[in-house]
Amino acid sequence: MNDEVVSYEIRERVGIITLRNPPVNALAPGMREGIIDLVKAANENPAVDAIVLTGAGRNFIAGADIRQFGKTRAVTSRTSAAAIEASEKPVVAAMDGYCLGGGLEHALACHHRIATPAARLGLPEIKLGIIPAGGGTQRLPRLIGAAAALDMILSGRQAGADEALALGLIDEIATGDLVAFAAGVARRIALERPLRKTSALTAWRTADREKPEIIEMARQAAARKKSPLKAPGYAIELVAASLSVDVDAGIALEHDRFSELEDSDEAKALRYAFFAEKTAGKIPGIAKPPAGDGVRSAAVVGGGTMGSGIAIAFADAGIPVKMLEATPEALKRGMERIRSTYDARIRRKRLTPAQMQERLARIEPASRYESIGDCDAVIEAVFERVDLKMDIFGKLDVVMKPGALLLTNSSAIDINVMARATKRPGSVAGAHFFAPANVMKLCEIVAGDATTIDTLGRAAAMGRALGKISVVAGSCDGFAANRSRAPLVTEMMLLLEEGALPWQIDKVMMDFGYPMGPFAVSDLSGLDVSYDTRKRRAAADPDYRKLHVPDRLVEMGRHGQKNGAGWYRYENNDRTPRPDAVVNQVIADIAREFGIPQREFTDEEILHRLLFASVNEACKIVDEGKSFRASDIDAMWLNGFGFPRHRGGLMYWADGIGAPAILYQVQAWHERYGKRWKPSPLLARVAGENGRLREAVAPETAFLPSLVPQPSTHSTK
Ligand code: 3H9
């Protein structure tokens, strides 16, 4: 038994087994063995009548230790859960906080389950490309029925204590001290026999067997989703098996399926994505976001698409927000936009009218700067015009209370420009949201030269409070996210001039796993949005390569879905993109005008041309210290651009091809197309070492001056 990760005490004839692996009690080596040994010891001890299984701190168990996947386990959750269920003395699960994956599976094997009101219960394995493997696929449907079990396993979502009680997933909600409450229950049921074993439950069978359509509906829904993953299909088959075979056979099948999935490419990529996101949240120089310093009220300047989306994100997160607009008409339009977003959610049954009212009540329209001065944070979300932004930051400087975060949602303009318009540049940073701001999970936190660590930490914590993945970047044109994607956009436009078509490129990217092709996305956000940015870049950079096709389409008035024509045409308010001969004609005209030779492209060439361009740029971004780590770029692409998660991220995917092969191709395109393909020194270095791009980190000296650890930190006095 491992004393460090599991402890045991006897309180008035109840043996209490406590798992100890802070912060979330993930099942590390030694814990399963500890459970088995202690259940045995409690059974052999005549001074013990019943057992409580609990977690130290504020969580039960957040699941198997994800870092241990792919390594040999001496004892599996299947075995320790079986030992619990086989106990001759009742075992009571006492759950607080996270009770996920292997944690919930151990609880399912207990004879009685108790949770605090704060408990969150779920089987999130599907998000890691695997299936529950501690008997969860067999015990859960036996306990709560096949339909509810499928919902939980396939969504990976967490249920709160009230829902868990209603589902029959727990027996009681604890009041007062959890362990004392659970020990009391353990004493109460100590002598009840037979013990209630979840695998022996049969009532569910009759009911569920009479409804074979439950499984069929799940199969059809999965087929419609066209998931590239194996795990959902396996999970459905396993729940189906729980209806027809005995528990041992079901668990054996579960074990086989899990063994196949554990080291699959998709599961490895999804595990990588999990840790890339966790790592992205870490800012060197900050141990933890300052406690008690969270944003409790916010203001958004601008009620356009982005501003209203950001306001919704705050309202959804329960944070009161003011929305400031210049004119009553613009304010009215912004509030209408918000209301129509909520109406759409009600139509899709994702929100109740009462919830909508609650959230709308958190959004206060404002028409004067003075009225937002007391907010903890303000986010400017107006047009990308430097003069306008400078004017706004000057006004914010006057009205905002000391210590307020002054944030801009700019997607490209240098943060230092806004910072210089204030007398408190240390409080100014970027909080760059991605459209639609209330949906997309990325919040890019951008540091200017003067931004303090405290400001960055608080802005990142604000993003997390909104349910976003906050990733820090340095200030440069496009910051890290858009700057790394810009070469992809350039290449997709230039491919058109060379003979590819938007729908062909979109298909390649959707086959790769994107939910939408990049041209369809551009139609959604509007072709006009990037038009001004291109003009600005062209004016600033004499080498700028003009993108003729999108410019011409914008000049023809084709702005995308919003006016029914962009890269595609749209009919009668239908969002289906339809190829349009007008676009073929524009492309052909431009190729002729500029004498560009036409040719055919393979799918692989299209994919590589788009993504290698961005890999090369991402390497430059890391090398210049505009991102802390290459894996941060992956976290950005996954959460801001819909990069297929089962491919891990841009840099993870690139490693699958290998840095040397990418460098070779980048060099070839450099010779052929010129400067824009100049290989990044970091790419060349990693290729020379045959290393991993995803492990690249910024040179300490290159990163944001205020964030480089100060000499005293390294002092060895
Ligand atoms: C499973 O159980 C399979 C079984 O069926 C059978 C297997 C044989 N492992 O996210 P946070 C770390 S599959 C290792 O910042 P939060 C995390 O990296 C597993 N580490 O806190 C971080 O470390 P650090 C099913 C883990 O409050 C620290 O804990 N379970 C694990 O925002 C704090 O985490 C899951 O998929 C883990 N399982 O969110 C749950 N979990 O400080 C995955 C956390 O060094 N976990 N860590 O950066 C989560 O979804 C979230 O972490 C959780 C807490 C919701 C629990």
| Residue having the nearest C-alpha atom to atom 16 of ligand 1 | 24
Cα of 257 vs centre of ligand 1, distance in Å, is 22
Retrieve residue 530's tokens.
């990037």
Ligand 1 atom closest to residue 63's alpha carbon, by position in its atom list: 2
- Whole-number percent of the chain with pLDDT over 90: 84
Task: Supply the pLDDT for residue 539.
Answer: 86
Strand partners, 159: 121
* Alpha-carbon radius of gyration of the chain: 28
Q: Is the pLDDT of residue 172 over 60?
A: yes
The per-residue pLDDT for range 179-191, each reduced to its tens digit, is 999 999 999 999 9
**Residues lining ligand 1, Cβ inside 6 A:** 23-24, 26, 62-67, 76-77, 98, 100-102, 105, 124-125, 128, 132-134, 136, 278
Catalytic residue among 9, 33, 85, 125: 125
Q: Sorting pLDDT into bands at 50, 70 and 90, what band is 168?
A: very high
Q: Is the pLDDT of residue 574 over 90?
A: no
Q: Sorting pLDDT into bands at 50, 70 and 90, what band is 703?
A: low
Give the helix/strand (H/E) hosting 465.
helix 453-465
Task: Supply the pLDDT for residue 711.
Answer: 33
| Residue having the nearest C-alpha atom to atom 10 of ligand 1 | 278
Cα of 276 vs centre of ligand 1, distance in Å, is 13
Task: Supply the pLDDT for residue 277.
Answer: 97
Q: Is the pLDDT of residue 712 over 60?
A: no
Long-range Cβ contact pairs of 195-200 (< 8 A, separation 24 or more)? 195/87, 195/88, 195/90, 195/111, 196/111, 196/112, 197/85, 197/111, 198/85, 198/108, 198/109, 198/139, 198/142, 198/143, 199/85, 199/135, 199/138, 199/139, 199/142, 199/247, 200/247
The per-residue pLDDT for range 375-402, each reduced to its tens digit, is 999 999 998 889 999 999 999 999 999 9
| Residue having the nearest C-alpha atom to atom 6 of ligand 1 | 133
| Residue having the nearest C-alpha atom to atom 17 of ligand 1 | 278
Task: Supply the pLDDT for residue 301.
Answer: 98
Distances (CA, A) of 433 to 315, 402, 464, 489: 15, 24, 12, 19
Place of tokens 């990308």: 384
Query: What average pLDDT score do residues 147-159 get?
Result: 96
Task: Supply the pLDDT for residue 3.
Answer: 55
Smallest CA-to-CA distance from 141 within 161, 123, 114, 127 is with: 123
Task: Supply the pLDDT for residue 614.
Answer: 98
Which of 66, 96, 98 has most ligand 1 atoms within 8 Å of its beta carbon, as the pocket-test mutant?
66
Cα of 469 vs centre of ligand 1, distance in Å, is 15
Task: Supply the pLDDT for residue 287.
Answer: 66
> What's the rounded Cα separation, in Å, for the pair 248 and 192?
25
Which of 5, 19, 21, 24 has most ligand 1 atoms within 8 Å of its beta carbon, as the pocket-test mutant?
24
Cα of 279 vs centre of ligand 1, distance in Å, is 12
Task: Supply the pLDDT for residue 540.
Answer: 83
Ligand 1 atom closest to residue 124's alpha carbon, by position in its atom list: 36
Note whether 251 and 198 are within 8 A (CB): no
| No. of helices (H) and no. of strands (E), the chain | 30, 17
| Residue having the nearest C-alpha atom to atom 11 of ligand 1 | 278
Retrieve residue 109's tokens.
């094997």
Cα of 79 vs centre of ligand 1, distance in Å, is 21
Cα of 523 vs centre of ligand 1, distance in Å, is 37
**Mean pLDDT of the residues in the chain:** 93
> What's the rounded Cα separation, in Å, for the pair 124 and 146?
17
Ligand 1 atom closest to residue 103's alpha carbon, by position in its atom list: 2
| Residue having the nearest C-alpha atom to atom 28 of ligand 1 | 23
| Residue having the nearest C-alpha atom to atom 51 of ligand 1 | 62
Q: Sorting pLDDT into bands at 50, 70 and 90, what band is 446?
A: very high
Smallest CA-to-CA distance from 112 within 87, 141, 79 is with: 87
Ligand 1 atom closest to residue 98's alpha carbon, by position in its atom list: 56
Ligand 1 atom closest to residue 105's alpha carbon, by position in its atom list: 5
Cα of 679 vs centre of ligand 1, distance in Å, is 37
Retrieve residue 12's tokens.
């008035």
194 Cβ contact partners less than 8 Å away, ≥ 6 residues apart? none
Retrieve residue 80's tokens.
């320790």
Ligand 1 atom closest to residue 278's alpha carbon, by position in its atom list: 48
Task: Supply the pLDDT for residue 710.
Answer: 34
Q: Is the dihedral of CA 474, 478, 482, 483 positive or negative?
A: negative
Lowest-confidence range among 494-503, 521-530, 670-679, 704-713?
704-713
More confident position, 258 or 535: 258
| Residue having the nearest C-alpha atom to atom 33 of ligand 1 | 23
Q: Is the pLDDT of residue 678 over 90?
A: yes
Catalytic residue among 9, 33, 88, 105: 105
498 as an active site residue: the answer is no
Query: What average pLDDT score do residues 176-202 get?
Result: 95
Query: What average pLDDT score do residues 580-584 get?
Result: 96
Q: Is the pLDDT of residue 316 over 50?
A: yes
| Residue having the nearest C-alpha atom to atom 19 of ligand 1 | 63
Ligand 1 atom closest to residue 123's alpha carbon, by position in its atom list: 25
105 as an active site residue: the answer is yes
Q: Is the pLDDT of residue 518 over 70?
A: yes
Q: Is the pLDDT of residue 74 over 90?
A: no
> What's the rounded Cα separation, in Å, for the pair 190 and 17?
16
Q: Is the pLDDT of residue 410 over 80?
A: yes
Cα of 678 vs centre of ligand 1, distance in Å, is 40
The per-residue pLDDT for range 607-660, each reduced to its tens digit, is 999 999 999 999 999 999 999 999 999 999 999 999 999 999 999 999 999 999
Q: Sorting pLDDT into bands at 50, 70 and 90, what band is 709?
A: very low
The per-residue pLDDT for range 30-58, each reduced to its tens digit, is 999 999 999 999 999 999 999 999 999 99
307 Cβ contact partners less than 8 Å away, ≥ 6 residues apart? 300, 301, 323, 334, 379, 381, 382, 409
Distances (CA, A) of 424 to 291, 391, 402, 407, 614: 22, 15, 9, 12, 35
Ligand 1 atom closest to residue 282's alpha carbon, by position in its atom list: 48
> What's the rounded Cα separation, in Å, for the pair 126 and 124?
5
3-state secondary structure of 138: helix
| Residue having the nearest C-alpha atom to atom 23 of ligand 1 | 278
Query: What average pLDDT score do residues 67-79 get?
Result: 87
Task: Supply the pLDDT for residue 541.
Answer: 82
Note whether 547 and 494 are within 8 A (CB): yes
Task: Supply the pLDDT for residue 466.
Answer: 96
Cα of 26 vs centre of ligand 1, distance in Å, is 7
Cα of 384 vs centre of ligand 1, distance in Å, is 39
Note whether 323 and 409 are within 8 A (CB): no
Q: Is the pLDDT of residue 286 over 90?
A: no
Task: Supply the pLDDT for residue 203.
Answer: 64
The residue count of the chain comes to: 717
Task: Supply the pLDDT for residue 171.
Answer: 97
